Amino acid sequence: MSSLSLSEKEAIILENDSDPRRILNMLIAIQYASEEGFIDEETAKLVADRLHLSEARVYEILSFYAILKTEPQAKYVLKICNSTPCLFTGGEMLSEVLEMILEVPADQPTPDGLFMYHSIPCIGACDQGPVIKIKDTVFGELTEAKVYQLIDDLKCGCYQEL
Protein backbone atom coordinates (compact mmCIF):
# COMPACT_ATOMS: atom_id res chain seq x y z
CA MET A 1 0.00 0.00 0.00
CA SER A 2 1.79 3.05 1.24
CA SER A 3 5.36 3.29 0.03
CA LEU A 4 6.79 4.12 3.44
CA SER A 5 8.19 1.30 5.51
CA LEU A 6 7.21 0.89 9.11
CA SER A 7 10.54 2.22 10.28
CA GLU A 8 10.27 5.29 8.07
CA LYS A 9 6.89 6.08 9.54
CA GLU A 10 8.24 5.52 13.02
CA ALA A 11 11.11 7.87 12.25
CA ILE A 12 8.66 10.63 11.35
CA ILE A 13 6.76 10.06 14.58
CA LEU A 14 9.98 10.20 16.59
CA GLU A 15 11.13 13.33 14.79
CA ASN A 16 8.05 14.89 16.29
CA ASP A 17 8.88 13.48 19.72
CA SER A 18 5.75 11.25 19.62
CA ASP A 19 4.06 14.42 20.84
CA PRO A 20 0.27 14.24 20.39
CA ARG A 21 0.21 18.03 19.95
CA ARG A 22 2.16 17.53 16.76
CA ILE A 23 -0.11 14.87 15.32
CA LEU A 24 -0.90 17.05 12.30
CA ASN A 25 2.80 17.59 11.59
CA MET A 26 3.25 13.79 11.57
CA LEU A 27 0.21 12.90 9.53
CA ILE A 28 1.01 15.48 6.86
CA ALA A 29 4.65 14.43 6.68
CA ILE A 30 3.69 10.76 6.33
CA GLN A 31 1.03 11.51 3.77
CA TYR A 32 3.32 13.66 1.62
CA ALA A 33 6.04 11.04 1.70
CA SER A 34 3.72 8.18 0.75
CA GLU A 35 3.24 7.23 -2.85
CA GLU A 36 -0.53 7.28 -2.89
CA GLY A 37 -0.86 10.41 -0.81
CA PHE A 38 -3.20 9.20 1.88
CA ILE A 39 -3.25 7.82 5.41
CA ASP A 40 -4.17 4.15 5.25
CA GLU A 41 -5.68 2.18 8.11
CA GLU A 42 -2.42 0.63 9.12
CA THR A 43 -0.80 4.05 9.44
CA ALA A 44 -3.71 5.48 11.38
CA LYS A 45 -3.45 2.54 13.78
CA LEU A 46 0.28 3.02 14.13
CA VAL A 47 -0.05 6.72 14.93
CA ALA A 48 -2.85 6.05 17.41
CA ASP A 49 -0.75 3.39 19.10
CA ARG A 50 2.46 5.45 19.36
CA LEU A 51 0.65 8.54 20.57
CA HIS A 52 -1.60 6.66 22.97
CA LEU A 53 -4.74 7.91 21.29
CA SER A 54 -7.77 5.92 20.26
CA GLU A 55 -8.10 5.09 16.59
CA ALA A 56 -11.40 6.94 16.57
CA ARG A 57 -9.60 10.13 17.63
CA VAL A 58 -7.15 9.78 14.77
CA TYR A 59 -10.00 9.26 12.32
CA GLU A 60 -11.85 12.25 13.70
CA ILE A 61 -8.79 14.33 12.93
CA LEU A 62 -8.34 12.76 9.50
CA SER A 63 -11.87 13.63 8.52
CA PHE A 64 -11.82 17.18 9.93
CA TYR A 65 -8.76 18.58 8.17
CA ALA A 66 -8.98 19.11 4.42
CA ILE A 67 -5.34 18.37 3.65
CA LEU A 68 -5.52 14.89 5.13
CA LYS A 69 -6.89 12.12 2.91
CA THR A 70 -8.18 8.63 3.65
CA GLU A 71 -8.46 7.49 0.04
CA PRO A 72 -5.64 6.86 -2.45
CA GLN A 73 -4.83 9.94 -4.52
CA ALA A 74 -3.46 10.19 -8.04
CA LYS A 75 0.25 10.74 -8.60
CA TYR A 76 -0.29 14.40 -9.37
CA VAL A 77 -3.09 16.07 -7.48
CA LEU A 78 -3.74 19.50 -8.98
CA LYS A 79 -5.24 21.82 -6.39
CA ILE A 80 -6.98 24.79 -7.95
CA CYS A 81 -7.40 27.91 -5.85
CA ASN A 82 -11.05 28.92 -5.99
CA SER A 83 -11.02 31.96 -3.71
CA THR A 84 -12.26 35.21 -5.22
CA PRO A 85 -8.93 36.96 -5.99
CA CYS A 86 -7.86 34.03 -8.14
CA LEU A 87 -11.31 33.17 -9.43
CA PHE A 88 -11.94 36.63 -10.89
CA THR A 89 -8.51 37.04 -12.41
CA GLY A 90 -8.91 34.13 -14.77
CA GLY A 91 -9.32 31.22 -12.37
CA GLU A 92 -12.82 30.35 -13.44
CA MET A 93 -11.60 28.44 -16.47
CA LEU A 94 -9.13 26.21 -14.63
CA SER A 95 -11.44 23.40 -13.65
CA GLU A 96 -13.20 23.47 -17.04
CA VAL A 97 -9.91 23.22 -18.88
CA LEU A 98 -8.72 20.40 -16.67
CA GLU A 99 -11.95 18.53 -17.15
CA MET A 100 -11.53 18.90 -20.88
CA ILE A 101 -7.93 17.69 -20.92
CA LEU A 102 -8.23 14.92 -18.37
CA GLU A 103 -11.79 13.82 -19.16
CA VAL A 104 -12.66 13.12 -15.54
CA PRO A 105 -14.73 15.16 -13.07
CA ALA A 106 -13.15 16.79 -10.04
CA ASP A 107 -11.87 14.46 -7.30
CA GLN A 108 -11.68 11.42 -9.57
CA PRO A 109 -8.33 10.01 -10.67
CA THR A 110 -7.67 9.54 -14.38
CA PRO A 111 -7.74 5.84 -15.38
CA ASP A 112 -3.94 5.73 -15.53
CA GLY A 113 -3.79 6.98 -11.94
CA LEU A 114 -1.65 9.93 -12.97
CA PHE A 115 -3.90 12.95 -12.41
CA MET A 116 -6.64 14.26 -10.21
CA TYR A 117 -7.84 17.79 -9.54
CA HIS A 118 -10.01 19.64 -7.07
CA SER A 119 -10.56 23.11 -5.70
CA ILE A 120 -9.12 24.44 -2.47
CA PRO A 121 -9.33 27.86 -0.83
CA CYS A 122 -6.60 30.50 -1.01
CA ILE A 123 -3.03 29.32 -0.60
CA GLY A 124 -1.49 32.76 -0.19
CA ALA A 125 -0.28 33.32 -3.75
CA CYS A 126 -3.09 35.72 -4.66
CA ASP A 127 -0.75 38.20 -6.34
CA GLN A 128 0.14 35.51 -8.87
CA GLY A 129 -3.29 34.10 -9.52
CA PRO A 130 -4.81 32.11 -10.95
CA VAL A 131 -2.81 29.32 -9.40
CA ILE A 132 -2.59 25.56 -9.16
CA LYS A 133 -0.67 23.85 -6.40
CA ILE A 134 0.83 20.40 -6.64
CA LYS A 135 2.30 19.23 -3.32
CA ASP A 136 4.52 22.13 -2.21
CA THR A 137 4.90 23.71 -5.64
CA VAL A 138 2.74 26.53 -6.96
CA PHE A 139 2.18 27.32 -10.64
CA GLY A 140 0.99 30.89 -11.13
CA GLU A 141 -0.37 33.38 -13.68
CA LEU A 142 -1.98 30.47 -15.49
CA THR A 143 -3.72 30.72 -18.83
CA GLU A 144 -5.49 27.99 -20.76
CA ALA A 145 -2.40 27.38 -22.87
CA LYS A 146 -0.21 27.13 -19.80
CA VAL A 147 -2.50 24.51 -18.25
CA TYR A 148 -2.19 22.35 -21.38
CA GLN A 149 1.55 22.73 -21.22
CA LEU A 150 1.69 21.93 -17.53
CA ILE A 151 -0.15 18.65 -18.06
CA ASP A 152 2.15 17.76 -20.95
CA ASP A 153 5.22 18.58 -18.92
CA LEU A 154 3.99 16.50 -16.02
CA LYS A 155 3.34 13.57 -18.35
CA CYS A 156 6.87 13.87 -19.72
CA GLY A 157 8.23 13.68 -16.22
CA CYS A 158 9.62 17.23 -16.23
CA TYR A 159 8.85 17.60 -12.54
CA GLN A 160 10.63 14.66 -11.00
CA GLU A 161 10.46 16.12 -7.53
CA LEU A 162 6.66 16.28 -7.45
Partner 1 sequence: MIERNKPVLLARINKMKQVTDVEEYQKYNGFSGLLEAIKMEKERILDELDLAHLRGRGGAAFPLGKKWRHLYGAKGDTKYIVCNADEGEPGTFKDKALLEQDPLSVIEGMVIAGYLFSAKAGYIYIRGEYRRIQKIFQEALDNAEKAGFLGENIVGIQGFNYTITIISGAGAYVCGENSALLNSIEGKTGRPRVKPPHLADVGLYLQPTLVNNVESFASIPVILREGGQAYRDLGTEDGGGTKLICLSGHVKNRGLYEVNLGTPLQEILYSEEYGGGTATGRPLKFIHFGGQSGPIGAVENLDDCIYSYEGLWDNDLSIGSGAIVVMDDQVSIVDYLVNVAAFFAHESCGKCTPCRLGTTRILELLTKFNTQTAVSGDLERLRKMLTHVTNLSACGLGQSVANPMRSGLTYFPKEFEAGIREAVAPIKGGFW
Choose, by CB under 8 A, the member of 12, 13, 27, 47 that binds partner 1: 27
Choose, by CB under 6 A, the member of 51, 58, 81, 150 that binds ligand FES: 81
Which letter, b or e, does each residue of 44-71 get, where b requires 16 or more Cβ atoms within 10 Å of its Cβ?
Answer: bebbbeebebeeeebeebbeeeeebbee
- Closer of 102 and 125 to ligand FES (Cβ): 125
Return the DSSP state at 137.
E
Name which of partner 1, ligand FES, none residue 114 binds, using a CB cut-off of 5 to 8 Å depending on partner kind: none
**81 assigned binding-site residue:** yes
Choose, by CB under 6 A, the member of 53, 101, 104, 123 that binds ligand FES: 123
Dihedral angle at the C-alpha atoms of 77, 154, 108, 42, nearest 10 degrees?
Answer: -50
41: phi > 0 → left, psi -120 to 50 → alpha, else beta; which?
alpha
If one asks whether residue 142 binds ligand FES (CB under 6 A), the answer comes out as no
Q: What is the DSSP string of 48-59?
A: HHHHT--HHHHH
Stretch that binds partner 1, among 4-12, 41-49, 63-71, 98-106 (CB under 8 A): 63-71
If one asks whether residue 33 binds partner 1 (CB under 8 A), the answer comes out as no
Output the 3-class SS for 2-48.
CCCCHHHHHHHHHHCCCCHHHHHHHHHHHHHHCCCCCCCHHHHHHHH
If one asks whether residue 60 binds partner 1 (CB under 8 A), the answer comes out as yes
Chain positions contacting partner 1, by CB under 8 A: 20-25, 27-28, 32, 53, 60-61, 64-68, 82-85, 87-89, 120-129, 133, 136
Binding site residue list for [2Fe-2S] cluster: 81, 86, 122, 126
